Amino acid sequence: MIRQSAVLSAITAGACALSAALPIAAAGEENSGFDTAGFLSACTGFVPDVGYAVPMDTQCVSQAVRMCNLSQEMKALQHCADSAAAWLEADGARIVSLMLGFDKRVLDGSGPAGLSLPIPALGDAPDCTQVSDPKFPTEVACRYSEALSEWLKLRTLMRSKEMTGEASQ
């Protein structure tokens, strides 16, 4: 438990240091002083192929949204969640492109074999229509929720020996 906590702390610290050296804003992102895409790329690049990789990936995403919002004095949660969702969608497309012949329908369980992930909670997307914050529109909450859910499934598959023939990352 202590070792996993230390690894997560090291990942967050390393990602923070790297994000400070990266360009200020991603393409299309307002100048917030925080590079969401750069932070997510750096942080997720540090996540090792271990049993707690999914929670570590999730921490990278939630930290990126929090830090983006902090950089804009807690007034840009919608923008930050939307920016993170855009990165998650783009990275998901990158992962799919690495898996030749991959049928994305398996993520829904509607593909030829369906998808049986080792963590059942990944298949259960939260009901994004129940957002209670008027500053956070339902469409942004749904985009973020769906992008995160699909990206976590793809990251799990990317690490799977059955999908790639060898463990990735």
Q: Read off the pLDDT of residues 83-102 as tens digits, 9 standing for 90 and up.
A: 999 999 999 999 999 888 88
Helices (H) and strands (E) in the chain, counts: 6, 0
Structural domain of residue 133, as residue ranges?
2-164
The long-range contacts involving 140-143, CB below 8 angstroms and separated by at least 24 positions, are: 140/78, 140/81, 140/82, 140/85, 141/81, 143/81, 143/82, 143/85
Pair of tokens at residue 14: 């390393």
- 21 vs 96, more confident: 96
- Cα(72)–Cα(114) distance, rounded to whole angstroms? 41
pLDDT, tens digit (0-9, with 9 covering 90-100), for 24-75? 334 444 555 899 999 999 999 999 999 999 999 999 999 999 999 999 999 9
Which residue from 143, 155, 135 is spatially nearest to 59, judged by alpha carbons? Answer: 155
Instruction: State the pLDDT at residue 70.
Output: 96
What is the identity of the amino acid at 45?
A: G
Question: Is residue 131 domain-resident?
Answer: yes
Question: Is residue 169 domain-resident?
Answer: no
Q: Could you tell me what percent of the chain has a pLDDT over 90?
A: 48
Averaged pLDDT of the chain: 76
Q: How many domains does the chain have?
A: 1
Question: Is residue 16 domain-resident?
Answer: yes
Pair of tokens at residue 71: 């950089």
Question: Is residue 135 domain-resident?
Answer: yes
